[in-house]
Chains A and B, each alone.
Chain A
């Protein structure tokens, strides 16, 4: 059933956010420490576990993929409900940060592409070249 997927997602999020609050409390900071990230990690692991045992029905997967597909629309709604008028002064900051980050990341690509030892990927690359 579709709700099983949605429910699994809900449980992962609740547990993640709960753990995040707990970490915040334990560390004495007024914040949710990594809750959403923990929830994502949980979902990946649980879905992986269920899939390998064929326990995740197609409707349940559809329940998950529906919410995954709603992500961009929800992000747009989020953007539309921000205090943009109040944040306009920060425009140059956003542009400088975004541009600087992309250029510095670009410059690191050749450096990191060279690194790494021979692994399964190497063969894949070789195969690509043959093709």
Chain B
């Protein structure tokens, strides 16, 4: 019986991963609704669950590829591997239009560039403080501080280790969750009550789920304004981090 199940699983790895990820997301969105009343978005909880599964996989096999080291779950590595990941990330830019960004005006576009570069620089400085000195690791962690997508995309492009990529995902995740929870608390202190500041907010923070969730909890009317800029943030990060920002980091740290 178990042999048959195991055979079916190992023969259809990618299909197994669809089923597992779907189940993980179902649990995550359930927890998001019941435990946090939707305050922490289901996607963030799902990524945390994913990291936990990776930890379990790593500890139980001693391997370095998380859950996909367990042979019946090998498809997770295929689904979450570089090829499909980059494909899906490129697809997210479908729906974005440069006509939208014109609405954001100068301050919105400026906040977008400042947001990406600032997050990157902060990530690099903190990584330096924690003892990383090579340009590839510094760039990857800096990119992860932008968003949990820019980190792994950059890391894969410039050849970072899986440990460093994991740290970059975690940094982006912390940013995203803190933005979700913290936005309604700080909103009145930072003047986040009109469309312009919402656009600036989306550009500076950039984490789409964090900005959307945080603004929804503050004032649902602000969500579309924050999304105008946040939509472009990950794209801009994927463009800048593995190119200009990496080359600059490499020039400084060798």
Is there a chain B Cβ closer than 8 Å to A1's Cβ?
no
Band of interface residues on A: 35 or more
Alpha-carbon distance A47/B85, docked complex (angstroms): 20
Q: Does A41 contact B (CB under 8 A)?
A: yes
Chain A 102-119, CB within 8 Å of chain B: the 1/0 string?
A: 101111111011011101
Q: Which of A70-108 contact B (CB under 8 A)?
A: 70-88, 90-102, 104-108
For window 19-73 of A, CB contacts with B under 8 Å fall at 20, 23, 27, 29-41, 43-45, 47-48, 61, 64-65, 67-68, 70-73
Interface flags, B47-68, vs A, CB<8A=1, else 0: 1011111110111000011111
How would you classify the secondary structure of chain B's contact residues: helix, strand, loop or mixed? helix
Contacting residues, chain B, for A68 (C-beta < 8 A):
88, 91-92, 94-95
Q: Is the CB of B47 within 8 A of A75?
A: yes
Bound complex: CA A12 to CA B65 (Å): 29
User: Given A36-B90, A82-B169, A98-B172, are A93 and B119 also a contact pair (CB < 8 Å)?
Assistant: no
Q: Given A33-B242, A108-B204, does the pair A40, B235 have CB atoms closer than 8 Å?
A: yes
CB < 8 Å neighbour of B77 from A45, A81, A91, A125: A81
Q: Select one of B65, B157, B159, B204 contacting A109, CB under 8 A.
A: B204
A45 vs B2: C-alpha distance when bound (angstroms): 51
A13-B86 contact in complex given A34-B238, A99-B174, A102-B182, C-beta closer than 8 Å: yes
Measured CB to CB, the residues of A under 8 A from B are: 9-10, 12-13, 16-17, 20, 23, 27, 29-41, 43-45, 47-48, 61, 64-65, 67-68, 70-88, 90-102, 104-110, 112-113, 115-117, 119-122, 124-125, 128-129
